[in-house]
């Protein structure tokens, strides 16, 4: 079993800014969200805790780990958020969908994000067969990964939302097919 958890809120999240790979820390609400997620996850047994290397994900994972009795075993570079490139820091609140789509044309594609995420998760599962793993990552990465795996769009992922994923859904899936 994998539990995919989006990091807690940051000031950029609350302002509606694209933060992508910009390394923004959690705010106080984000820390409370991480504590709530950790308390909920503590109701089950977990074997491994991994994270994106960005500090908002690492801090969320550390807080969750304090509840489930695990330290972060590994940070996985390919679980970093989508690279929004020149669009990073842009405020999307109040923008029309068409304008947002134009702004995101400079970004790493969602298909590329999903492919690298699925590849990283497959490797994690192969190397840790049978283990129950908490993965702390990012909203767009989780949303497009789940959409690719399930073959239909996935809804927006809230801060500290947890999505359980059976490893079998990952294995045998060809992530590179997503970018063809």
> pTM here?
0.95
User: Residue 107: which residues within 8 A CB-CB, separation 6 or more?
Assistant: 20, 82, 83, 84, 85, 87
Q: Which CATH number fits domain 2-179: 3.60.10.10, 3.30.360.10, 3.40.720.10, 3.40.50.1240?
A: 3.40.50.1240
- Segments making up each domain of the chain, as ranges: 2-179
| Per-residue pLDDT in tens (0 to 9) along the chain, 180 residues | 999 999 999 999 999 999 999 999 999 999 999 999 999 999 999 999 999 999 999 999 999 999 999 999 999 999 999 999 999 999 998 999 999 999 999 999 999 999 999 999 999 999 999 999 999 999 999 999 999 999 999 999 999 999 999 999 898 777 666 655
Which residues have a catalytic role annotated?
A: 7, 81
């Amino acid at each position: 079993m994998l539990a995919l958890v989006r990091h807690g809120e940051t000031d950029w999240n609350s302002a509606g800014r694209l933060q992508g790979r910009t390394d923004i820390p959690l705010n106080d609400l984000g820390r409370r969200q991480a504590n709530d997620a950790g308390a909920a996850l503590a109701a089950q047994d977990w074997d491994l805790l991994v994270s994106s290397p960005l500090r908002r994900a690492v801090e969320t994972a550390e807080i969750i780990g304090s509840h489930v009795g695990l330290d972060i075993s590994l940070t996985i570079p390919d679980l970093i958020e989508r690279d929004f490139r020149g669009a990073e820091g842009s405020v999307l609140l109040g923008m029309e969908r068409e304008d947002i789509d134009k702004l995101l044309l400079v970004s790493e594609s969602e298909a590329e994000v999903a492919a690298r995420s699925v590849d990283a998760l497959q490797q994690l599962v192969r190397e840790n067969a049978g283990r129950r793993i908490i993965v702390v990552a990012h909203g767009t990465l989780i949303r497009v990964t789940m959409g690719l795996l399930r073959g239909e769009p996935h809804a927006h992922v809230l801060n500290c939302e947890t999505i359980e994923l059976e490893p079998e859904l990952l294995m045998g899936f060809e992530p590179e097919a997503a970018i063809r």
